[in-house]
Structures are given as structure tokens and as C-alpha cells.
Amino acid sequence: MFIDPFGRAITYLRISLTDRCNLRCVYCMPQDGLQWQSRASQLSVEEIARVVESAARGGVTRVRLTGGEPLVHPHIVEIVRRIASISAIEEVSLTTNAMLLERLAQPLADAGLKRVNISLDSLDADKFRRITRDGDIDRVWRGIAAAECSHLAPLKLNTVIVRGLNADELPALARLTLENDWHVRFIEVMPIGNAQNWGEGFPAPSERYISVHEMRDMLSTFDLQPVTAPQGNGPARTYRIPNALGTVGFISPLGEHFCQNCNRLRLTSDGKLRSCLVTPNEVSLRDALRSGQPLEPFFEQAIAQKPQHHDMLAAIPAVSRRGMSQIGG
């Protein structure tokens, strides 16, 4: 079993399948994209499957695919099928912007995908287009409908809240849970790879951050009741509006509570194990994979390096060398 030096069992692997994306959300990527990793540096389907088999032997039971945008990966359905067929893996899920979900939801469900988290930062089509720099909100809604038809449930909607951009939509987003069995989760914007100006009409860097405490205050009229988080709600503090079908969650990556129960390990798309989103220690699996070496010692090394908690503010310069889309947000 993978147990880190602080006694936490590592049971959850997040895999960034690609650093590429079909959107350019202002808080995540510059308009012109990033210096993309070469195709040769990215792991193949076979290599990803080997990593998950090894992780499963160490006690990993849940895998989440992310990126970049996992649905732009040309072999996404095959990857899901390979991972889902590993007997110790109980759940394969995926985080997506949903641009390509309408046609992929059913093939992915057939391949063994259990759930999707969909990023949706505004309910207003024009604002959504501005935030994502050209995303089409109608495609997101069609993707959500397809996910529901394909029983990819429970559906989670992730919204990064930025002051002066979409914080005014907190009540409307929370109200989605009244009649939908969805988990709407509000996330504090993290100062990762996005310190530059986002352009005309966007808030300045020093004005964007809004804490989950303030978000909760902005929803005080809803009489939010704390509930036990649904399975897989990770670091979210979860509430329900009385009689609502779904829940409202708050995720504070800057807050300490994010760390104490952390059961995660990450695999970057260029084959590096990372035991913390924020702390930049990485262990490369790629050469070991390509030279046929056993992977277990590399897992042990990465887990031994897992920090007790991160220090987000001290780590910002180092974190910023790799953005969220490269680490796998």
C-alpha cells in the first residue's frame, strides 16, 4: 500500500493526458497558448495503462483524467477503456470543459467512465465566451445533457469565482441545484500561471481573488445547510439549500484543510509523478517506462516526497513555471 510519511493512504491518481486545450480560459492560459510539450514527450496509451496498473498494485482505486483538455486527446476512449478494465480501479472520472462532450459522452460511458466534472464559469453566453476566449456555452449545455443521458452521474459543475468577473453569478449558479441533482462547486482562483493582465474589461491581478468565506456570505440568503460531502467531492465543503436536489460546495485550494486528508498523486502528461499540485517536486517515470524498469520504486520516491501541506504563497514562483493545464488541475 502507498502510505506517505504522514500516514495518508494514497488511493487517488489524477492524470493529465495532454497540456493542449481547445479553449484559453483567462485564468488558466494565455491567449496564444503555451509552449506545448512535444508529442514524443507525452505518454502513449500503453504507457499510461502501465502506470495505472502499477498505481493500482499500490492501492490506488480511483483515477481522474484531466489536462489541458482530456477530450482533445485522440485516444481518449481507448484510454478510459484500458484504465477501467484494470480490476482494482473502482472508478474512472474526467474533468472537462465539455466542448466535445456531446458526441463523446456515450462512447466514454460505454468504455467504463463513471462521472464527469464540467467547468462552467458563467451562465451568460457572452461572458462565457469572454472568459474562455471563444467557448460556446450551448455546446456545454448539450454536453451536460449528453452526460445525463449517458448516466455519467452525479454531475459536478466547477466554477472558478473571480471578483469583478463572475462573482455576481454565485446566486444564479447555486440556484441550479434547486431542480437538478448536480454538485455545483465554487473554487477560489489560484495564482498559478495567470499573473498577467487578462485584457480589456477584466479585473486587475490584485482585485481578482475572493475567498470561499466571502462567497458563502454572498449566499447567506439561501440558508445553506452543511451536508456530508458526496463521494469524490474531494476537498469541497458541501452544503444544501433546503429541499434542493443538488449540493453547493466550496473549494479553497489556498486553505490548509485542503491538505490534511490529501490522498492524491498526479501524473503529468510528460510522465512525471507529482505528489502535490503546488509543491514542485516531480519524479520522472518516462525513462523507466521506456527502458522497461519496474515503476514501484519511482512511486515510492514520489510518495516519500509528499509534503505535509503546501505553502501556496511561498511556492507561487516555482508553481508558475508550470501552469494548471500542464500539471493537471
- Positions in the binding site for ligand SAM (CB under 6 A): 21, 27-28, 66-67, 69, 95-97, 119, 158, 160, 187, 189-190, 192, 194, 324-325, 329
**28 forms part of the interface with ligand SF4 (CB under 6 A):** yes
State phi, psi for 259 to the nearest 5 degrees.
-90, -35
87-106 residues near ligand SF4, rule: CB under 6 A: 97
Q: Which does 187 bind (CB under 5 to 8 A by kind): ligand SF4, ligand SAM, none?
A: ligand SAM
Taking CB under 6 A as the rule, does residue 241 contact ligand SF4? Answer: no
* SS3 call for 151: coil
* Secondary structure (DSSP) of 232-244: T-TT-EEEE-TT-
CA R_g for the chain: 19
Closest to ligand SAM by CB, 54 or 97: 97
Largest separation between any pair of C-alpha atoms in the chain: 59
Long-range contacts of 171-176 (CB under 8 A, 24+ apart): 171/218, 171/219, 171/221, 171/222, 172/123, 173/120, 173/123, 174/219, 174/222, 174/241, 174/248, 175/241, 176/246
Q: Which range binds ligand SF4 by CB under 6 A, 24-32, 43-51, 290-298, 310-318?
A: 24-32
Which H or E run includes 145?
helix 137-149
Both ends of the chain: CA-CA distance in Å?
25
Dig out the grid coordinates for 67 from the structure.
489536462
CA-based nearest residue to 123, from 171, 169, 188: 169
Q: How far is the CB of 34 from ligand SAM (least distance, A)?
A: 12
| Smallest separation (angstroms) from ligand SF4 to the CB of 132 | 6
Residue from the set 10, 15, 17, 25 that interacts with ligand SF4 by CB under 6 A? 25
- Tell me the C-alpha distance between 311 and 329, whole Å: 17
User: What distance in Å separates the CA atoms of residue 118 and residue 147, rounded to the nearest whole number?
Assistant: 10
Which of the listed partners (ligand SF4, ligand SAM, none) does 189 bind, with a CB threshold of 5 to 8 Å by partner kind? ligand SAM
Give the x-and-dash track for 33-72 against ligand SF4 (CB under 6 A): ----------------------------------xxx---
Report, in Å, the least distance between residue 24 CB and ligand SF4.
5
Do the beta carbons of residue 4 and residue 116 sit within 8 Å? Answer: no
Closer CB to ligand SAM, 57 or 127, in the complex: 127
Query: How far, in Å, CA of 92 to CA of 49, rounded?
Result: 13
Vertex 66: Cα angle to 107 and 176 (nearest 5): 80
Which one of ligand SF4, ligand SAM, none is in contact with 86 (Cβ closer than 5 to 8 A by kind)? none
Of positions 10, 13, 17, 23, contacts ligand SF4 by CB under 6 A: 23
Residue 36 or 53: the one with the smaller Cβ distance to ligand SAM is: 36
24 touches, from ligand SF4, ligand SAM, none (C-beta below 5 to 8 Å by class): ligand SF4
Q: How far is the CB of 91 from ligand SF4 (least distance, A)?
A: 21
Residue 7: C-alpha distances to residues 185, 259, 260, 275 (Å): 28, 13, 10, 14
Q: Which is nearer to ligand SAM, 135 or 271 (CB)?
A: 135
Q: Which is nearer to ligand SAM, 288 or 319 (CB)?
A: 319
Residue 325 in the binding site for ligand SF4 (CB under 6 A): yes
- Which of ligand SAM, ligand SF4, none interacts with 238 (beta carbon under 5 to 8 A by kind)? none
Residues near ligand SF4, by CB under 6 A: 21, 23-25, 28-29, 67-69, 97, 119, 325
